[in-house]
Chain A
Amino acid sequence: MVPRFWRKIKYRYEILTSFCENCGNHYYPQREICPKCRREGVLKEEKVCDYGKVLSYTVVNGRTIALVEFDNGAKMLAEVCGKVEIGKKVRKAFRKYGEDGDFGIIYYGTKFIPIEEQN
């Protein structure tokens, strides 16, 4: 499992979408080919802003898992620390997802935290 996690670290610690310069679509997780443009597509990695809003969510095994939508249209599944509802704004946070026993590697990744909107 170590190499499997290790080779994705960059993408787990940052939110990187694949932006297609040809059609303007953003994809998360990153892709190697644009499904709209296929061979004509030109994909570039792009960091998305650290804010998104909850499109939908569930609570499973005591954790809140949400489908978060970014302004650029990409969507990302991630855990949210705290209470959410549909439409709630959230911001990115660096958190632990799990670990491989007492001596194994610790899995870190991106989670979200609800933000209260200012009146």
Chain B
Amino acid sequence: MRVAIIGVGCTEFGELWDKSFRSIFLNAGLSALEDAEIRGKEVEAIYIGNMSGGKFIDQEHIAALIVDHAGLAEFGIPAIRIENADASGGSAFRQAYMAVASGIHEIVIAAGIEKVTDANDPMEILSTAVDQEWEKFVGANLPAIYAIIARLHMHRFGTNEEDLAMIAVKNHRNAVHNPKAQFRKEINLEDVMRSSYIAEPLKVLDCAPLCDGASAVILANEEVAKKICDTPIYIEACTQASDYFSIQNRKDITTLQAVVIASKEAYKIAGVEAKNVDVAEVHDSFTISELLAYEDLGFAKKGEGKKLIREGETEIGGKIPVNTSGGLKACGHAVGATGIRQIVDLVIQLRGEAGKRQVNAERALALNLGGSGATAVVSILSR
């Protein structure tokens, strides 16, 4: 059964000190319901991406908590939390998609949420997404893993630190016009190059800042969608793949194999090729992850991702605009919410509601990664 997105909602991303976990979820959920022009009790199930309620706010069993706070316990609506590190949002989206595609449900919510600023060291918590026994033990946190990948990519293909810096600059420029982004401010190449190293060769401004945020989308089958929505956006494919958990076991650490597998399958299901994608939101948790995405999604050949950024092809107005929202880098990375936030931004693009960020797009792609890429979720949407 064909599945459509009929409503989207997103909170501001940032340090939402004055708002609680449950309150930011409600904000995103209600905006999505309002956008879909439904009341809430029509929803048959809720899928919530959340990496670590337990570590960030000492709260588990968050799906039921959220259902209650949203006033939906009244109707007994079932909910489940999906955890796949920072691919939790994308994974929740895929579960929701499959629930509707299978015909089991007609209308469901896919959401993502993370409240990171109540914790002392959010990056340490995100780093639980790498192997604690054989990566973290020796001192390799998540930035270190991506740094090791980046160093080899540079050595092997001639990618340089400026190429990565240009990705950060582009994403910040795009975020200026995104009212939900955490950093709506341009930065220049020098700012990035002068920022201090977090994990050589990655610098502070190569890393997406972790933040609070929630996002929600409402999915319905085509029949229902056509009845209640003027601008349904269709899900042409939503795939997921896994890779070896630790980079120690990957044959070639400069390729995120899960991205290659998930995207190939998604293109096949949607009946398209990489070149048919008009706009993309990719997982730039570090600038190197966006560069790898160019190659592993097939926008460029292996080793040639740098050409896309050097030639401006991934800018708004380029051949394949990437992260017109500002990406994780400038929107902020609200961990479990990010995968859904990407879908929200692509729906806004496909509906033609992106204002100054608007590109001409019929087909959009989202890539959401977990940790250092052991999980990849690829979604293809179309008008």
Chain B neighbourhood of A35, CB < 8 A: 244
Work out how many contacts link A and B, with CB atoms closer than 8 A. 80
- Say whether B197 faces chain A, with CB atoms less than 8 Å apart: yes
Asked if B143 and A60 sit within 8 Å, CB to CB, the answer is: yes
Query: What B residues does A19 contact at CB under 8 A?
Result: none
- Chain B residues with CB under 8 A of A107: 137
B148 touches A109 (CB 8 A): no
B248 in contact with A109 (CB, 8 Å): no
- Interface residues as binary, B138-170 with A (CB distance below 8 Å gives 1, 0 otherwise): 111101100111011001000000000000000
CA distance A86 to B157 in the complex (A): 14
**Interface presence of B191 (CB below 8 A):** no
Tell whether, in the assembled complex, residue B148 and residue A29 are in contact, meaning their CB atoms are under 8 Å apart: no
**Chain B, Cβ-Cβ closest to A76:** B248
Q: What residues of B have a CB within 8 angstroms of the CB of A12 in the complex?
A: 137
Whether the Cβ atoms of A60 and B139 lie closer than 8 Å is yes
- Give A107's nearest chain B residue, CB to CB: B137
Q: Are A67 and B199 in contact (CB under 8 A)?
A: no
Tell me if A28 and B138 are in contact (CB < 8 A).
no
Determine the distance from Cα of A27 to Cα of B245 in the docked complex, in whole angstroms.
13
Taking a contact as CB atoms closer than 8 A, the residue among B148, B155, B201, B246 that contacts A65 in the complex is: B148
Contact A59 B249 (CB under 8 A): no
Q: Are B133 and A65 in contact (CB under 8 A)?
A: no
Give the residues from 18 to 75 in chain A that come closer than 8 angstroms, CB to CB, to chain B. Answer: 27-29, 35, 55-61, 63, 65-67, 74-75
Whether A97 is near chain B, meaning CB under 8 Å from some CB there, is: yes
Residue of B nearest to A4 (CB): B133
A60 touches B152 (CB 8 A): no
Q: Which of B137, B139, B247 contacts A67 (CB 8 A)?
A: B247
Note all chain B residues with C-beta closer than 8 A to A86.
Answer: 151-152, 155
Query: Chain B residues with Cβ under 8 A from A66's Cβ?
Result: 148
Collect the chain B residues with CB atoms within 8 Å of residue A55's CB.
Answer: 152, 253
> With A56-B148, A59-B199, A86-B155 known to touch, is A29 a contact of B133 (CB < 8 Å)?
yes
Residues of B within 8 A of A (CB): 133-135, 137-141, 143-144, 147-149, 151-152, 155, 197-202, 244, 246-249, 253
- Which A72-110 residues have a C-beta within 8 angstroms of B? 74-79, 86, 97, 107, 109
Asked if A65 and B253 make an inter-chain contact with CB atoms under 8 angstroms apart, the answer reads no
Closest Cβ neighbor of A27 among chain B residues: B249
Contacts of A4 in B (CB 8 A): 133
Known: A27-B249, A77-B246. A56 touches B137 (CB 8 A): no
> Which of A58, A76, A109 contacts B147, CB < 8 Å?
A58
Shortest distance between the CB of A62 and any CB in chain B (Å):
10
A109 touches B143 (CB 8 A): no
Distance in Å from the Cβ of B134 to the closest Cβ of chain A? 5
- Contact (Cβ within 8 A) A58 B249: no
Question: Does the CB pair A77–B151 fall under 8 Å?
Answer: no
Q: Let me know if A56 and B248 touch, CB within 8 A.
A: no
Q: Are A59 and B152 in contact (CB under 8 A)?
A: no
Point out the residues of chain B lying under 8 angstroms from A109, CB to CB: 137-138
**Within the assembled complex, what's the spacing in Å between the Cα atoms of A66 and B140?**
9
Q: How far is the CA of A60 from the CA of B197 in the complex (A)?
A: 8
Residues in B neighbouring A29, C-beta threshold 8 A: 133-134, 246, 248
Contact B248 A77 (CB under 8 A): yes
Can you name 10 extra interface pairs (CB under 8 A) apart from A60-B147, A67-B247?
A: A4-B133, A8-B133, A55-B152, A56-B149, A59-B199, A60-B200, A63-B139, A65-B148, A77-B138, A107-B137
Residue of A nearest to B246 (CB): A77
Write out the residue numbers on chain B whose beta carbons fall within 8 Å of the beta carbon of A28. 248-249
Check B249–A97 contact: CB distance below 8 A.
no
Decide: B253 and A67 in contact? CB cutoff 8 A: yes
Contacts of A74 in B (CB 8 A): 248
- A35–B199 alpha-carbon span in the complex (Å): 31
State A12–B133 Cα separation when bound (angstroms).
10
Q: How far is the CB of A105 from chain B (nearest CB, A)?
A: 13
With CB as the reference atom, state the residue of chain A lying closest to B247.
A67
Chain B residue contacts of A97, Cβ below 8 A: 137-139
Chain B residue nearest in CB terms to A61: B139
